[in-house]
Amino acid sequence: MKRLVLLGLAIAALAIIVPAAQTAPTSDTGCAAEHVSGAACQGPDADPAANACEIYTWVGDASCVLTVPDGVASSTTGTLIAYAANQDTNWHAEFELSIRDTGTGQVLYSNSDSLTVPVTQQPVVPAASVGFGTVFSASGGGEVVCEVTGTHNPAGAAMSGVAATSATQGVFNNSLRCVVD
C-alpha cells in the first residue's frame, strides 16, 4: 500500500514538474470564427515530416509535438509571424516561442518579441516575426514540443480557411514553422 501511495505521489509530482503542452483545438477548415471571438484555435499541420510542423493559421496559441530522427534534439530552425491587434490607438503585436523536451520539460530554445506602433504611423497591420536557427546549448530527447502564444488580428478571419486548406500563408494569419533535428 505504501508503494502505491508513493507511486501516486511521484506521478503527481512529475505532472507538476513537466507541464503538458498547451494545445489549441485544431480545425482543418481554419479559424475564422476564432479570429473574431479570440478563442484559441490552430489550423492543421501542413508538413508531413515527423520532425517538423507548419501551421498557417492560429489564434491565441499553437503547438506541435515533433519526433527527432536520431533520438537526440540538438538544433532547430523555423519562422514565426504574429499579427498585431488594435489596442485603442495603437497596434500591438507579441509572441512567445518555446521548444521543450517532452520527457523532462527542459526548455531547449525560447524567443519572444513585441512591438507597439501608433495606428496613425502604421495604417497597415504590422506583425512581430522571427526567423530562427540555433544549436541547443543542451541536447534534448527524441520528442519535443514547439509552442507559441501571441496576438492575432481579427482581419485574418477572411483568409483563415484558405490558409488552412491550401497550406499557404493567408493575409493577416499567424503562422509557425518549426523543425528540430
**What digits encode the pLDDT tens for the residues 115-171?**
999 999 999 999 999 999 999 999 999 999 999 999 999 999 999 999 999 998 888
For residue 18, pLDDT over 70 is answered with no
Is 106 inside any structural domain?
yes
The model's pTM: 0.86
Q: What is the CATH number of the domain that holds 139?
A: 2.60.120
Is 4 inside any structural domain?
no
Cα–Cα distances in Å, from 158 out to 12, 64, 85, 155?
43, 24, 15, 6
Q: How confident is the model at residue 3, as a pLDDT?
A: 45
* CA pseudo-torsion sign 53, 43, 147, 112: positive
**What digits encode the pLDDT tens for the residues 42-99?**
999 999 899 999 999 999 999 999 999 999 999 999 999 999 999 999 999 999 999 9
Is 175 inside any structural domain?
yes
Is 170 inside any structural domain?
yes
Domain limits for position 112 = 20-180
Residue type, 173: N
The closest of 114, 148, 116 to 40, measured between CA atoms, is 148
Return the bridge partners of 85, or none. Answer: 92
Is 57 inside any structural domain?
yes
How far apart are the C-alpha atoms of 95 and 89, rounded to whole Å?
A: 20
Domain count, the chain: 1
